[in-house]
Amino acid sequence: EQFWAIVPAAGTGSRMQTDKPKQYLLLQQQTVLMHTLNRLLSHPQISGLVIAIAKDDPWWSSLEIPADWPLLIAEGGQQRSDSVLNALDRLADEQVGDPWVLVHDAARPCLRHADIDHMIHSLATDEVGGILAMPITDTVKRATMDGRVAETVPREALWRAATPQMFRLQQLRQALSQAIAAGINVTDEASAMEYLGYQPKLIAGHADNIKITLPQDLPLAELFLQQQGG
Ligand code: C5P
């Protein structure tokens, strides 16, 4: 089996309140993006990686990417899903057949190899694929339009979706293009697969695989990297 990593890194990070997109902020003297790429490319089962970079991105070229990294570059799109689809199309051009793809947010630099291993093992004989996710621990409320509690939602069946999200290249391309064409709000790969009627498997991941979104997430990610010793 072949496994490729797909990294959408073409976001603007509007919620970060910084000029630079979050994937270019520093964690332990290294960009968030370099941490993420390192985590994926140092995994022994990952053959290569396709990254989606925004067309007008002025920061990418100043990263010191080792010349021997198996890295392909695609152009970012309007939405995350467009960026992922561009990257998948780029991979399909390589005539690699129909490998598994692990789509992983550039903004999740604390991904552990143990979670990648767990995912690959859990899905080894799976027909669909699946996602790393965490069971919800808080009590969950549904809000009214004016910000009051409408009801308490039973949390037993609720999970927070993370990445990687692992699917077959060709199935995921088809799912994303159809869901995008139908105007579905595709905020992760699983949503596109669900649109076609598939039920991706939920694989319990570690909670330190956070997505850097808000300014306060940076010191937290730094702490997690330190604890992980990497
Ligand atoms: O904005 P959000 O946190 O959902 O972004 C998740 C990931 O998708 C980030 O790594 C971001 O760079 C990427 N992205 C992208 N193309 C876009 C929007 C977001 O590659 N148009």
13 or 227: whose pLDDT is higher? 227
Write down the pLDDT at residue 30. Answer: 96
How many domains, in total, are found in the chain? 1
pLDDT at 13 over 60: yes
Amino acid identity, residue 17? Answer: Q
**The ligand 1 atom nearest the CA atom of 14:** 1
Segment 193-209 shows an average pLDDT of: 98
Task: Return the best residue to mutate from 83, 176, 218 for the ligand 1 pocket (most ligand atoms within 8 A of CB).
Answer: 83
* Mean pLDDT of the residues in the chain: 96
> How far, in Å, is the centroid of ligand 1 from the Cα of 8?
6
Which residue, judged by its Cα, is nearest atom 5 of ligand 1?
A: 11
Q: How far is the CA of 128 from the centre of ligand 1 (A)?
A: 24
Question: What CATH number should be reported for the domain holding residue 185?
Answer: 3.90.550.10
- Verify whether ligand 1 is closer than 6 Å to residue 211 (CB atom): yes
CA of 80 to the centre of ligand 1 (A): 5
Nearest to 88 by CA among 24, 80, 108, 36: 80
Give the residue from 166, 127, 158 showing the smallest Cα distance to 141.
Answer: 158
Question: Ligand 1 pocket, 76 CB below 6 A?
Answer: yes
Q: How many CB atoms lie within 10 A of CB 28?
A: 11
Question: Is residue 20 within 6 Å of ligand 1 at its C-beta?
Answer: no
**Which value does ipTM take for this structure?**
0.95
Residue 18 is predicted with a pLDDT of 73
Burial (CB count <10 Å: 0-12, 13-18, 19+), residue 144: exposed
Contact between residue 53 and residue 21 where contact means Cβ atoms under 8 Å apart = no
Query: Which domain does 108 fall in, by range?
Result: 3-228
- CB of residue 10 inside a 6 A radius of ligand 1: yes
> Residue 122 corresponds to which tokens in the numbers above?
């859990």
The rounded Å distance from CA 163 to ligand 1 centre is: 12
Q: Write the residue with the smallest CA distance to atom 6 of ligand 1.
A: 105
Average pLDDT over residues 168-196: 97
Give the model's pLDDT for residue 17: 67
pLDDT at 203 over 80: yes
Distance 24 CA to ligand 1 centre (A): 13
DSSP 64-97: ---TTS-EEEEE--SSHHHHHHHHHHHHHTTT--
